[in-house]
Amino acid sequence: MSVPFEFSDRLKQLPPYLFIEIDKAKRAAMAEGRDVINLGVGDPDQATHKAIIDAMAKAIQDPGNHHYPFDAGVPQLRSEIAKWFQGRFNVALDPNSEILPLIGSKEGLAHFPLAFINPGDKVLLTEPAYPAYQAAVTFAGGKISYLPLKASNDFLPKISDIEEAKNVKAIIICYPNNPTSAVATKKFYEDLVKVCTEKGIIIVSDLAYSEVYYDGVKPPSILEVPGARDVAIEFHSFSKTYYMTGWRLGWACGNAGLVAGLAKVKSNVDSGVFNAVQHAGIAALQMDPVEIEDMRACYQERRDALINGCRSLGWKIDPPKAAFYVWAKVPAKFPDSMTCAKAFLDEADIVLTPGVGFGKSGEGYVRMALTVPVERIHEAVQRMGKVLA
């Protein structure tokens, strides 16, 4: 007879992880032999670039890479990140104190609150939001206060709400935003840095989608703003830019003290990124920028196909400026986002993500990921027509 185990209170506080539930529904449909078009989870469908794979293959043959990795990351990777950051954002980072490689940015975001959030500390979290932020704060014992993102404010939190909040330890933001695809302006970052500096609030910025943008308009980094390095840490990912979601590689950068705190947590819970993967990251950062332009062109073609197709059906949707998600109001015939998503799966074999899964402020919307070929998007639009008729 097995011993009856019970989940910890912190686990009980978490809702079911949205993407696991979606995957279960998708797999059940596929098990029935149905041709499912998955516009749910944002996992790029393209293969990792050959130069990255070749660098990994070479590095994995080196016995020197078969031991524990450098906790702080391979020095050359940190130098390449600094060089890339300087070229992209015109910001000079110290590779030795302001950059920390991660086992994917999600890992770093999960561990960061353990370094600075004490039980009961208040953390501001924009909503709707990537569910992992809530879990990270909950595991650290923090208390979340939500900042609703509304279309009327371009899905940015109101600075006045942050000014009025009391006893706040940190704020977590994500722009380009998942799920809304909204982009923050330099002016927003300037205002945010000003109020957070005055109130002593740590800014945690997730910039995983910095290189997925459209029409040549590049999203800024908060670290471009004067004074940001006094209060902010920013998280970057190789996953979306280089088709490396499964490789698990990212980095944190910014305020040296915040980076050091995260490094101290990580030194107690993991041993860093496998060195061969870090060498693959070096190859990624050294790639010809033209190949990254091809990635953006691919997503822009898909975005336009989906937006134009939905509009032809009478579903009016604003095209995203960045990220590979389309954030769409639920058609009027559906009472809520869960009903809408269920109807598209049941009647058209299309997986959408209900907005409420990202928090109550996401109700009334669904998210569609541009991570299937354009031919499948055209097919999805045809099927949508039957549901929306």
- Residue 374 is encoded by which pair of tokens? 């354009």
What number of CA atoms fall less than 13 Å from residue 278's CA on the CB side? 25
378 torsion bin: left (phi>0), alpha (psi -120 to 50), beta (else): alpha
Task: Output the pLDDT for position 290.
Answer: 86
Measure the CA–CA gap between 2 and 172, rounded to whole angstroms. Answer: 41
CA angle 358, 361, 367 (to 5 degrees): 45
Measure the CA–CA gap between 225 and 304, rounded to whole angstroms. Answer: 32
Task: Output the pLDDT for position 17.
Answer: 67
Measure the CA–CA gap between 341 and 352, rounded to whole angstroms. Answer: 5
Strand partners, 310: none
Task: Output the pLDDT for position 264.
Answer: 97
Task: Output the pLDDT for position 14.
Answer: 83
Task: Output the pLDDT for position 18.
Answer: 65
3 state SS of 126: strand
- DSSP H/E element including 19: helix 18-31
Could you read off the pLDDT tens digit of each residue along the chain, which spans 389 residues? 677 788 998 888 887 766 677 778 788 888 888 999 999 888 999 999 999 999 999 999 999 999 999 779 999 999 999 999 999 999 999 999 999 999 999 999 999 999 999 999 999 999 999 999 999 999 999 999 999 999 999 999 999 999 999 999 999 999 999 999 999 999 999 999 999 999 999 999 999 999 999 999 999 999 999 999 999 999 999 999 999 999 999 999 999 999 999 999 999 999 999 999 999 999 999 998 888 999 999 999 999 999 999 999 999 999 999 999 999 999 999 999 999 999 999 999 999 999 999 999 999 999 999 999 999 999 999 999 999 98
Buried b (16+ CB within 10 A) or exposed e, 185-217: eeebbebbbbbbeeeebbbbbbbbbbbbbbeee
Q: What top-level class would CATH report for the domain 50-285?
A: alpha beta
Would you say 133 and 143 are in contact if contact means Cβ atoms under 8 Å apart?
no
Q: Which fold has domain 9-47+290-388?
A: Aspartate Aminotransferase, domain 1 (3.90.1150)
Task: Output the pLDDT for position 139.
Answer: 96
Q: Is the peptide bond before 179 cis (omega within 30 degrees of 0)?
A: yes
Please give the backbone phi and psi of residue 287, each rounded to the nearest 5 degrees, phi first.
-65, 155
* Domain limits, the chain: 9-47+290-388, 50-285
